[in-house]
Amino acid sequence: MKLNLSFIVFMGFAFCLGQYQIVAAQQQNPELKLQQLLQEAVAGKDPITVLTVLKVTNELGQKTVSYDLCQLDVPVSHLFCKQNLKISRIKMPQFIGSPRAGSQAAALKLNQKGEVDATEQFKEFLRSKGYVLNKKKIPAVNLKATQSELIGSKIAGMWWALKKNLNHPGIRAPLFISSDNYILDGHHRWAAIVSMDYQDGKLGDIMMDTIQVNVPIRTFVDLANQFTKEFGILPSEGVVQTK
């Protein structure tokens, strides 16, 4: 298996975390070895070790090795999903997605993935119904997951990008949150940022830009799903592996 320079650099980082066993994963039967390492990392309840293993699986192209980070019980915290509302990821609203043909969303400009961004239109939708949108900086650890699934490999990629640039504009874009500090959209970005917060040993010192709306989360989810359906953003069909 040919390894590029970025992977070699990453392996050095893995060593710094004490994950010297990961090197064995590039030898025989990497999928099985990575699964074993992931199980050990989960048993240790350390999100940084879990994300390290998942980042290595990404680099090795082992798409079948993944983990739902909502299943990880991080001691002395509510991370990641201890207070979630048991709403599956595919039932949560998404404002960036594929437009339905003939809808209002279809009139928006497509990005390179063939998707549109209806964030600004959602803001106008909320204002038209009398809701107030407040921009706030809130400690990442004070926010709560609404959905019950988090794709670990996706978070690992974002976490690694944040290690290179903590102010990564795509990841650090503001999140919509409810009056009770639940996240409406952007769970994976939040999980990557709060992982950075956890890693520095000082939970609460990394702030997140948010747009807080004066509405409780369950009503907020219903409003957002009403908007995406009427505006024409097709629902995500993604799935997550839990083992």
173-204 pLDDT, tens digit each: 999 999 999 999 999 999 999 999 999 888 89
Q: Indicate whether 103 pLDDT > 50.
A: yes
Reference 73, options 49, 52, 44; nearest CA is: 44
Task: Domain ranges for the chain, please list them.
Answer: 5-67, 89-149+166-231
Residue 52 has a pLDDT of 87
Q: Structure pTM? A: 0.84
Cβ(243)–Cβ(133) under 8 Å? no
More confident residue, 208 or 23: 208
